[in-house]
Each structure stands twice: as structure tokens, then as C-alpha cells.
Amino acid sequence: MSQIEKLAPPRHIAIIMDGNGRWAKKRGLPRTAGHKAGAEAFRRTANYCRTLGVEYLTVYAFSTENWRRSEEEVGGIMKLLAAYLKEALRDMQKNHVRFRFFGDLSRLSPDLQKLCLEAQEKSSEFDEVQVNFCLNYGGRDEIVRAVRRYAADVLAGKCDADALTEDMFSLYLDSAGVPDPELVIRPSGELRTSNFLPWQTVYSEFVYMNVLWPDFGPEDLDSAIEEYHRRNRRFGGV
């Protein structure tokens, strides 16, 4: 058993799955081939997280800004997502992954929305690992949608605006009920969050890695977890 398996993994790991395009470019392949390889990396990583006993894995799959890409690329990503969800529904009894979706799903195609809902409903009883898929997700958009729902509750007399606390507000977010991630990993070498989980990551440890997402393997997750264990988390204390 390696050293890392003896260290408790964080309960919640979040990953910005970045670098698919550069991976494809390096090989002279279309960007969509990079996304396909990225989907494989996701399967690998989710399985490994389950083996390690990680409770929550949150993955950034498509941002509110990613619509700026070509129709061809966006269409290719949506097709891969639909294929993955169909496969997940088929293998549900074997994999026992519980699915949740963060983001504004209303902009996705009706077919994809249906697959998301079905995956969420049919997996709700599994208790091994929960995968939170961020689809058409933007952190600012999530907060604005939460504020809208909260304002509607205030107007309906269901709650008192003066009594709002951070814990209460977090229940209006897509991540309601999910503990904050202890560790956020961004492969691809970019040093930014790109609108990922701004509310939930105020005290997360960020590990930026030079590997491109399609090449990401268990050994990379191990090294991110090792790095996490080297950090001194103070939460504002001493």
C-alpha cells in the first residue's frame, strides 16, 4: 500500500477539467478529440476517487462562458455529455455513483436536461461517492440565481430578510447540503478559477498542476492529495 492511501483523502475534491484543447493540438487532432480523451480522464478519476473513499467529487465540465466557443465544439461537448450520462444510467447498478448537477440546466437541450434529471433521480439512493457535475455553471450566475430564489421567498413572506445568515443563504445555492471542497485541483497550468465555486472555495486549498486534463491519472490525484496534506490550513486563526 502506498503512503498516500494511508492518509485520509479530503471528503470533497473539486476539479477544473482543463487542457483538452491543448492536448488535442499537440497531437494534431480536432479539439473534440481532446474532449473525448477528457471524458476518459473523468471516468478514471471518478473511479479512483471511489476507491479512495472520497465522498464528493465536483467537476467543472462546461462553464457559462464556454458558449463563446464554436458551434461545432459546443455541439461535440454536449454529445459527449449525453453519451456519458446514458452510459452512467446503464451502469448505475454497478458503479453506485450518486449524481447532482450544478449550473443553469435550462439552457441545455431538452434531451440533455432529461438525462440529467433521470441520472439525479435514479442515483439518489447511492451512498458511495457523489459526483457534482457543473454544466452551464458559473459561480456568479449561481449566486444571482440563489438571490432570485431568496428574494422570491422573502416576497412570499416565507423568511425575514434581516435574519439571513451565511448558512441559510448557502441553502439557496446549487451546492445546497454539500460541504465545501477542501481541495480544488486545476490541471493545464492556468492559475485562475474561471468562475468556479466562488462561494464554496473561500478556504479551499488550490493545487495547480502542469498536466493536461486528458493525461491526468491516479498518480496526479495522489500527488495533489499529498500536496494538500502539506498545507497548513488556518481558517484565519493562528
List, by residue number, the catalytic residues.
18, 66
Report the interface residues with Mg ion, using CB under 5 A: 18
- Cell digits for 233? 490550513
In sequence order, what E strands does 71-226 have?
A: 97-102, 129-137, 183-186, 205-208
Residue 81 to residue 98: CA distance in whole angstroms: 16
| Phi, psi for residue 125 in degrees, rounded to 5 | -90, -10
Among 32, 45, 123, 188, binds ligand IPE (CB under 6 A): 188
Q: How many H helices and E strands in the chain?
A: 9, 6
Which is closer to ligand IPE, CB of 61 or CB of 172?
Answer: 61
Binding of ligand IPE by 101 (CB under 6 A): no
Look up residue 169 and give its DSSP letter. H
Name which of residues 8 to 37 contact ligand IPE (CB under 6 A): 16-22
In sequence order, what E strands does 10-117 have?
A: 12-16, 56-63, 97-102
- With CB atoms as reference, the residue minimizing the distance to ligand IPE is 21
Which is closer to ligand IPE, CB of 172 or CB of 184?
Answer: 184
Beta pairing partners, 60: 16, 134
Residues in contact with ligand IPE, shown as a per-residue x/- string from 34 to 63 under the rule CB under 6 A: --------------------------xxxx
Binding of ligand IPE by 82 (CB under 6 A): no
Q: Which stretch binds ligand IPE (CB under 6 A): 1-9, 83-91, 119-127, 189-197?
A: 189-197
Which is closer to ligand IPE, CB of 48 or CB of 133?
Answer: 133
Residue 67 to residue 71: CA distance in whole angstroms: 8
Interface with ligand IPE (CB under 6 A): 16-22, 60-63, 65-66, 77, 188, 190, 192, 194
